[in-house]
Structure 1
Amino acid sequence: MDPLLLAVEWWWIAPVAAGGVAAGGYGLRRRSRRSGRRLEYDAARHDLKAAQQTSVERRMSVKLARADVARIAAERSARRATSDQLAGAKRILRAKENDAKAAAADVRAKQVRVNAARAAIPAASEPRPLERLHAQHEALVARWMRYETDPALQISYPEMTDVKQPATAEYLRAAGRAVEARRAADSAAAPAEFAAYRDAVSELERAFEAAEYAARVRAGEAPQSTSAWQDAAQDMLSRSAEAIDRAAGAAASALAAWNDRKRPDKR
């Protein structure tokens, strides 16, 4: 058969094959999203985009604040503004600069989370991110319920169930927010709702740790974090002392070598 006619007759194979590969890849990504395997990764990307937008806005605020300082300084030179107004504008500029630095740090942290979430996309046989978050949430509730149901813990740490205690009241508020966020995430299963639920569970964990710490302090137990801090400080001091000793030894050795080199040869 004429090669030209063959090429004309089968010209559609390559585009269709390429389209099939692309459609297959898109279908895999779409099934991955629908199955929830990429939910944590998509939520991390959602957070990064929001953090980047905030960082851009705060950098713009810094530029405007700097322009305001320059304007008021010029007016101060022309005696149309007071020194207090200039000082106030400079304070606002410093606050805006600190906000911009915090936003930039948040962007870097969110980028780390994106990288970690990309690496942690589960296999088809592993629990989905929402399932893992459910397990984390339920584990926190189970830790709390031990103080509600164990008579020995109730006697030892009564503040854990006393809603008049600020830390306990804050835990209960965080628990309510986590429940609401879970309902929204379960009904929508979208990145924004998952991110809100993830943050609510993290807030719940912090609130529980704070309530438990406060209850143990009121029970007369030595704060564990204090001893850990003291151990870390002692370790840092020890390492610093060792570094100083090593530096002093090295300096002494160098000085001795220099003196030996300056002595005349006795041979």
Structure 2
Amino acid sequence: MPAPTTMTMTMRAAGGDIIAAVTSAHPGLLVGTIASGAVTVAGYKVLAKGLDAVGIVNAFVLGTLAFAAFGAGGYGMVCLYFLFGTAVTKVKLAQKEKEGIAEARGGKRTWRSVWGSGLAAAICAAFALATGSYETFAAGFAACFASKLGDTTSSEIGKAYGTRTYLSTTFREVPRGTEGAVSLEGSLAGVAAALAMSVVSLPLGLASSPSVAALVFVSAVIANYAESILGATVQTKSEESTGIVALLTNDVVNVLQTSLASLIAVLVCGNFV
């Protein structure tokens, strides 16, 4: 067997370096940009089912930060949120459209939705890259998406299957789709979704232990309840609420909700876990 040439050895070494970089727990921005770009191009048709064109560009930025800071595990959580969030949004979509409570644009999300869902996670990724405190900010990153998938699932399943919906503040019965309203069906589905994301954060390498995964779950549930209070008091314009803060749109409330989940997880993980 002939000895490998210098070029062959160089190519093998380069291939090994590429694999090591991509599979690294914290690959950095260059690798993150390349990986996120490759997935965005390859999966454009899938992304286009849940995002408009500008939303896809912004999702690429979010994915870059996720991969750069937390590797394939972080990017995997973003993908899981997108896939399951899109799927649950389309559950009984025709019925929800008929009742006027469906997401606009056939359930497609915009750049506002991308950052409403992922801004807190992006900030956690940026701080992890800047400080090197990956374990702490990974918990915040996971809590962001656990909270948001729980909220999306609760809302969409509640709209589709909720038999009775109540405001979270007064517990008065209101129509399905009312901001800040909760249903038993939606609430159980939302808790299950948040729990699933929290459990998945372990094999994805975002939660360093079962106790951190439990922290992610608790943070998500607390933030989701706080979101329902905001929705019932200052966001919605229904007869059952005041709607006194016009700037608190759904996307802004989502940012506040996910930021609270991330903040709780980061503070507790950084100081007590």
TM-score range, shorter chain: 0.3 to 0.5
User: Which has more helix, going by share of residues?
Assistant: 1
Query: Which one has a bigger Cα radius of gyration?
Result: 1
Q: TM-score, normalised by structure 1?
A: 0.34
Q: TM-score, normalised by structure 2?
A: 0.34
